[in-house]
Amino acid sequence: MEIAKEILLVTLPALFVLLTAWIILRKTVESDRDKRRQEVILQNARTITPVRLQAYERLTLLLERISMESLVMRNYKPGMDSKQLHTELLNSIRSEYDHNLSQQIYITPAAWEVIKTAKTNTIRFINTSTEKIPPNASGADLSRFLLESVSELEKEPAQVAVEYLKKEVSSVM
């Protein structure tokens, strides 16, 4: 009985120390793991945020390039007829859009939808305007009609999308 008592006197404090050390060690390991996880998240944010901002910049440039005034100024050449200008405008929009397709992975799905809607509405606006002028009209006639018609809009589709992107970027920063 005396030996059992002695074993208990030695074993119980040892078990208590072991349990305490295990709990402290476990908490330390968990704390280190959480700290490393936070560091990785912070490092990712440092890496991704500039890339995301660059995507917003590129998409803003896309929207500026598909705005009506920019499109007409870039694509109209003296001597073009309305059909040629119409084709050039649509090709330019599609080219700009296709060139920036990959940027969608860096922005929110809602922002990408706004950009797609701006592109679609711009194409629709050009098609509708082209139908309103005579088939034998010159490119100058179409460009004038497009610029006059877009000035009557409250906001151009590209402008609506740019404003949306600006709001979204301000929430990111």
Q: Residue 25: count other Cβ atoms within 10 Å of its Cβ.
A: 10
pTM of the predicted structure, to 2 decimals = 0.74
Listed as own residue / partner, the contacts of 166-169 with beta carbons closer than 8 Å and 24 or more positions apart are 166/60, 168/56, 168/107, 168/108, 168/110, 168/111, 169/53, 169/56
Contact between residue 58 and residue 103 where contact means Cβ atoms under 8 Å apart: yes
- Residue 59 CA to residue 99 CA, distance in Å, equals 10
The band of 123, judged by pLDDT with boundaries at 50, 70 and 90, is very high
d(Cα 149, Cα 8) in Å, to the nearest integer?
A: 95
Task: Please state the domain extents for the chain.
Answer: 49-172
Quick: pLDDT tens for 9-45.
888 888 888 999 999 999 999 999 999 989 887 887 7
Question: What are the tokens at 104?
Answer: 């969608």
Higher pLDDT, 116 or 44: 116
Q: How far does CA 14 lie from the centroid of its chain?
A: 59
